Structures are given as C-alpha cells and as structure tokens.
Amino acid sequence: QVRLMESGGGLVQTGGSLRLSCAASGSIFSINAMGWYRQAPGKPREFLARITGRGSTNYAGSVKGRFTISRDNAKNTVYLQMNSLKPEDTAVYYCNMEYVNSYYWGQGTQVTVSS
C-alpha cells in the first residue's frame, strides 16, 4: 500500500529553522509531484510549496525566500527547509503526493514557533 509519513516537526524559537521530511512508501513509480501544506487552528489548509518529478518548484508568496522544497527521487522523499521562522508559521504541516491520477496525504507534523 502507498503511505506518506511526515517527520521533523517540533518547537523552535522565532528566527530559528526546521527541516521537515516526508517519505512515501510502497510500490511507487514516477511520482508526478509532491508538496507541502499547513493548517493553523481555525484557518483553512494553506498551500506552501510544490515540486514536480522534473524538479520544477512553486511557492506560496508567504514563504518564498524563507522555505525551500527539495526531493530525493531514489528515496521517494520530499523535504521542506524552513528558515527565519515566525510565530505565524505555527501550524500542522502536511505533505501531499500526486500519483497515478490520485492525491495522497500524510497525517501531519506539528510545528510550533515561540515568540
């Protein structure tokens, strides 16, 4: 079966950094794209970044210049390097995979940024 697993969340101070990982397991070939979203309490889920199988990237304006998405194709893993973190970045972070005309989601990892 196909499964996504996020890791790397935690507590960090304002201005600090975190690196999130999301590994896709199972029999997987030629992933179309992977991305990151987040959802803060009382707010809708927000798109953050996406990377295609060819390596093209797309970012939300709110994180451009601070967050970087990358991938390891051999491990079917996507990363999100988050720098200059702010309290408003506090949320549950989810990874997403586009594969064989379907969309898969992980369970999320909590990121908390203290002021």
Identity at 9, one-letter amino acid code: G
Q: Model confidence at 28, in pLDDT bands (50, 70, 90)?
A: confident
Residue 27: pLDDT over 90: no
Mean pLDDT of 6-16: 97
> What pLDDT is stored for residue 77 in this prediction?
93
* Residue indicated by tokens 């994180």: 63
**For residue 36, is pLDDT > 90?**
yes
Mapped onto helix, strand or coil, the DSSP state of residue 55 is coil
- Interacting residues of 96 by C-beta distance below 8 A, sequence separation 6+: 4, 34, 35, 36, 37, 103, 104, 105, 106
> Residue range 92-114: average pLDDT?
95
Tell me the per-residue pLDDT of 41-92, one tens digit each, with 9 for 90 and over: 999 999 999 999 889 999 999 999 999 999 998 888 999 999 999 999 999 9
Amino acid at 41: P
Q: What is the pLDDT of residue 17?
A: 98
Burial of 83 (0-12, 13-18, 19+ CB in 10 A): middle
